[in-house]
Amino acid sequence: MLKKECVLVIETDGGGISSYELTEFFRYFRAAYVAGVKISESSGISALSKDELIRLVNRIKLIQSVDVVDYLFKIDCENNELEFLDIQRENPLSCIISGSASVLEFVVIFCGATVVSNGVEVKIDEVNVAGIFKAENVVIKIPPLSKGLNELRAAFGKEAACRRKIDDL
């Protein structure tokens, strides 16, 4: 698979970033990335779709008695690993990531992201994503963290987990 470096920008509200939301976002982002790697390797398809993710998630649920997101999160992608090359905490949060171009295209569909490529900003969906990552200087813009996280959860058919209160310990 063709590796691609791009900038991932996560919008914030200007305040602090919840460690819980940030961790959850990257857990789901990685799980979607791993699912994309698996789908593209097993089917040879370069343009991935939401339906294929749903089929893979359902297949894992049938064979494994584990949380699908945790299961995918822990898989070693070997040469197709998603890597963080640089992280800058400004406002917004900005990371330089490297991973499979076609799989990154697949993942941004689920984040509610827009992509800036060659100075043009495009809302990403399955119709207009194909080939956008072939351009230089690609920037993936994720909406505010909680919205991007909710979009990723929905892709896996999940809702926000009910968090326990510190007094419940």
In the sheet that 120-123 helps form, which strands lie side by side, from edge to edge?
83-89, 93-100, 3-10, 139-142, 114-117, 120-123
- Name the H helices within the chain: 19-43, 50-63, 68-73, 101-109, 145-155
**What is the C-alpha to C-alpha distance for residues 130 and 105, in angstroms, rounded to an integer?**
7
pTM of the predicted model as reported, rounded to 2 decimal places: 0.84
Residue that is written with structure tokens 């979607």 in the block: 32
pLDDT, one tens digit for every residue, the chain (169 residues): 678 888 999 888 777 888 999 999 999 999 989 988 888 887 765 556 677 777 777 888 777 767 888 888 999 999 899 999 999 877 788 999 999 887 888 888 788 888 887 777 777 665 455 566 666 778 888 888 888 899 889 888 888 878 788 888 7
pLDDT of residue 5: 87
What single DSSP character describes residue 165? Answer: P
**What is the C-alpha to C-alpha distance for residues 17 and 97, in angstroms, rounded to an integer?**
19
pLDDT of residue 97: 92
| Percentages (nearest 5) of helix, strand, coil residues in the chain | 45, 20, 35
DSSP-based three-state secondary structure for 27? helix
